[in-house]
Amino acid sequence: MDEFAFIRDLLAPLTRGAPGAYGLGDDAATISPKPGHDLVVTADAVVGGVHFRLDDPPGRIAQKALRVNLSDLAAKGAEPAGIVMALCVPAGTGDDWLRAFVAGLAGDLGCYGVPLLGGDTTSTPGPLTVAITAFGEVQAGTMIRRAGAQAGDLICVSGTIGDAALGLAGDPRLTPSAQAFARDRYQVPQPRLALGRALRGAARAGIDISDGLVADVGHICEQSGLGAVIEADSVPLSAAVREWLAADARNLQRALTGGDDYELAFCLAPERASELGRLAAAGEVPVAIIGRMGPGSGVKVRDAAGREIALASGGYRHLQA
């Protein structure tokens, strides 16, 4: 299958009839946000051997490449509107592999109602690389920012934290079901789009957890000019990660600083605490309060006794500025 057959036969159906995609038959696409709306643009690349394992199922690689971008849109409260994809394919990649990759992408684009608008397919002497740029819409001027948190705001997270760190590291001592759960969480993130919708006009700041909980809350701190305290006991953990901590308590640090969970972290004014149930219901995902924003800078993590938990450089690396 050459480049042009691949585009015409496999990718063109993914445009889902979007008129601005021109059936992938032009040099460029056109996109026009609804009147009174901003286009939100985010770009994330995933690279074989870095963001996924080379032997991961091809459909899951496609899903991850898409979903890490949709997760950014979710964190910004944006409604997905389309993607463009630059796909760098190693020589010798078989047609079956490509078909499975596209099937995974097609399933997700259908599920999320997102059209493929354009892109580029090229060969590479390196590993498979998928660089997606995703577009979303927000009412003009309402994108949820990293900046905007205020001292006293509640820090909240969706879902459970540390699953992807466990999925990436693996631990043969755990039950098979815990290992499978964590691997799935690492391979196939769940973009929290419904929660992001519910956070419009409610969250003062937000981010998705891609670098790790501590680092990403740190990004909110930096951009908001504040510090944060996270109560470790309040961080929601799955049964799999609780097994992992039982095997070695030092894994707490890996759970709090590991990347790729793709849950949302966001800041709520304290008087909105009563809305957590509504947000969780709308987002179809549990939401927990894990700490507070305050003056200063950087992120401190405290144990149940109020003692600061020292984190290795990995967790604090991006916060030392």
Q: How far apart are CA 144 and CA 205, in angstroms?
A: 6
* Closest alpha carbon to 315 in 259, 268, 272: 259
Smallest distance from a copy of itself to CB 302, Å: 25
Ranges within 19-58 binding a copy of itself (CB under 8 A): 20, 22, 25-33, 35, 37-45, 47-51
Which of 10, 14, 62, 73 touches a copy of itself (CB under 8 A)? Answer: 73
Q: Are 264 and 74 in contact (CB under 8 A)?
A: yes
Q: How far apart are CA 115 and CA 77, in angstroms?
A: 19
Smallest distance from a copy of itself to CB 87, Å: 8
Q: How far apart are CA 130 and CA 86, in angstroms?
A: 6
109 binds a copy of itself (CB under 8 A): no
Q: How far apart are CA 180 and CA 163, in angstroms?
A: 11
Q: How far apart are CA 240 and CA 236, in angstroms?
A: 12
Which of 164, 198, 203, 207 touches a copy of itself (CB under 8 A)? Answer: 207
C-alpha atoms less than 13 angstroms from C-alpha of 314 in its C-beta half-sphere: 11
Ranges within 302-321 binding a copy of itself (CB under 8 A): 317-318, 321
Binding mask 137-176 for a copy of itself (x = CB under 8 A): -x-x--x-xxx-----------------------------
Smallest distance from a copy of itself to CB 238, Å: 24
Burial class (CB in 10 A: 0-12, 13-18, 19+), 289: middle
199 binds a copy of itself (CB under 8 A): no
> What is the DSSP secondary-structure string of 117-130?
EEEEEEEESSS-EE
* Positions in the binding site for a copy of itself (CB under 8 A): 2, 4, 8, 20, 22, 25-33, 35, 37-45, 47-51, 72-73, 75-76, 78, 84-86, 88, 117-120, 122-127, 129, 131, 133, 135-136, 138, 140, 143, 145-147, 207-208, 219, 222-223, 317-318, 321
